[in-house]
Amino acid sequence: MIPITKPFLPPIDEYKSYVDSIWERQWLTNMGPLSSDLEMKIKDHLEVNHLLFVTNGTIALQIAIKALDLSGEIITTPFSFVATSSSIVWEGCSPIFVDIDSKSLNIDANKIEAAITERTSAILATHVYGNPCDVMMIEEIASRNNLKVIYDGAHAFGVKVNGRSIFEYGDISTCSLHATKLFHSTEGGLLITSNPEILKRMAYIRNFGISGFDSFAELGINGKNSELHAAMGLVNMKYLKMIHEKRKIITEAYDEKLKTLKAFKPKWHANATLNYAYYPIVLESEQFLLDVKTMLEQHEIFTRRYFYPSLANALPYLPPISLENTDNISKKVLCLPLYYDLTLEEVNLICRLILRAQNN
């Protein structure tokens, strides 16, 4: 069987050495030494100003919305994981969906301004598959209209735009360190900002709003992570370069083998690096997608329709709307298997079967 993804697992002895130290200290959570060490190491690796290690990427989004005091409407993308939209609703705001660009699959920055009303407080955009949004145009729109900007960078670990970390853009950026991500801490998330006052507030919110032994700065939540998760992150950091290089090799093999496929890959930001987080293809029709998916599943190879269906018409707690590009793309996009342990022989098999489905 070839799954859509597998978590990278380091040598167990290396992880166990961290676990042994946790047993010795008997400090399991509440930002222990391993969590603090991981937080600093990721900050240095990404070359960002301020960073917090939190429970997961969804909590990161919720804390970001709370830390910016957002209310009313938040302009966002319908082509993302459900947490992008559900976090907005969870925090008492209303998501306003703007259609995506049909090439990059990110929110179409040219359509954002038309969606702004007197109730709009922010833009929450996703770097889909790690592909950066048009951050410069979004920044200009936000500045003109006095709006905050949050970026959902769940897929964008390690990506740079114009020589800067993608997480340096916006008021706050978030990231997921879930087990399926190219860098993970089993479960985990990141909050990144260039503003020290925002950082201070998010740090309070992460820990119930506690500001001292018997005082509270504000309303908070439990967004802390554990030492066991931090241990996984610390071990995995040693293998980041190796993981990136292997994913690059797999991606380039797919590119070569699927040159004749009637499909296209999302157009990557011209001034951005690649992190090879996913391998999405947009096929020429939904029926062709179903043919490819069925062909692969008959050989125990599993893909994912990521993202399908469109959030604009799939969430029971929001009124459905139709958006042309999102509706079209979401029916035709398919992510192929991509993970560290995937072999080139398996890639060859996957590609042969896809092309066979095309020729049937």
* Spatial CA neighbour of 101 closest among 73, 136, 135, 77: 77
Are 23 and 142 members of one domain?
A: yes
* Domain end (from 221, 237, 253): 237
pLDDT in tens, 88-114: 999 999 999 999 999 999 999 999 999
Q: For 227-250, what is the mean pLDDT? A: 98
Q: Is the pLDDT reported for residue 360 higher than 90?
A: no
pLDDT in tens, 288-320: 999 999 999 999 999 999 999 999 999 999 999
- Burial annotation 10-39 (CB, 10 A radius, 16+ → b, else e): eeeeebeebeeebeeeebeeebbebbebbb
Average pLDDT, the chain: 97
Range of the domain at 326: 240-359
Q: Is residue 3 in a domain?
A: no
d(CA 131, CA 276): 10
* Spatial CA neighbour of 233 closest among 58, 62, 87, 32: 32
What pLDDT, on a 0 to 100 scale, did the predictor assign at position 216? 95
Are 174 and 207 members of one domain?
A: yes
Q: How far is CA 76 from the centre of its chain?
A: 14
Q: Going along 64-140, which residue ranges are E strands?
A: 73-76, 94-97, 120-126
Residue pair 121/70 in contact (Cβ under 8 Å)? The answer is: yes
Report which residue type is found at 41. Answer: K
What pLDDT, on a 0 to 100 scale, did the predictor assign at position 222? 97
Q: Going along the chain, which residue ranges are E strands?
A: 50-54, 73-76, 94-97, 120-126, 148-152, 160-161, 164-165, 172-176, 189-193, 210-212, 215-216, 263-264, 280-283, 333-335
d(CA 97, CA 151): 15
* Domain end (from 217, 237, 257): 237
What pLDDT, on a 0 to 100 scale, did the predictor assign at position 131? 98
In this structure, the chain runs to a length of: 360
Residue pair 54/87 in contact (Cβ under 8 Å)? The answer is: no
pLDDT in tens, 191-223: 999 999 999 999 999 999 999 989 999 999 999
Q: Is residue 326 in a domain?
A: yes
Report which residue type is found at 129. Answer: Y
Are 163 and 76 members of one domain?
A: yes
Q: Is residue 45 in a domain?
A: yes
Exposed/middle/buried for 314, CB within 10 Å: 0-12, 13-18, 19+?
middle
Q: Is residue 5 in a domain?
A: no
Q: Is the pLDDT reported for residue 183 higher than 90?
A: yes
The token pair at 62 is: 């919720």
The CATH number assigned to the domain holding 343 equals: 3.90.1150.10
What pLDDT, on a 0 to 100 scale, did the predictor assign at position 17? 97
Helix (H, G, I), strand (E, B) or coil at 159: coil
Residue pair 41/90 in contact (Cβ under 8 Å)? The answer is: no
Percent of all residues in the chain with a pLDDT value above 90, rounded to a whole number? 99
Are 347 and 233 members of one domain?
A: no
Are 252 and 199 members of one domain?
A: no
* Domain end (from 237, 255, 276): 237
Q: Is residue 33 in a domain?
A: yes
pLDDT in tens, 24-57: 999 999 999 999 999 999 999 999 999 999 999 9
Q: Is the pLDDT reported for residue 274 higher than 90?
A: yes
**At how many degrees (to 10) do helices 344-359 and 240-257 cross?**
30
Domains of the chain: total = 2
The token pair at 259 is: 């040159």
Are 254 and 185 members of one domain?
A: no
Are 216 and 273 members of one domain?
A: no
Residue pair 236/340 in contact (Cβ under 8 Å)? The answer is: no
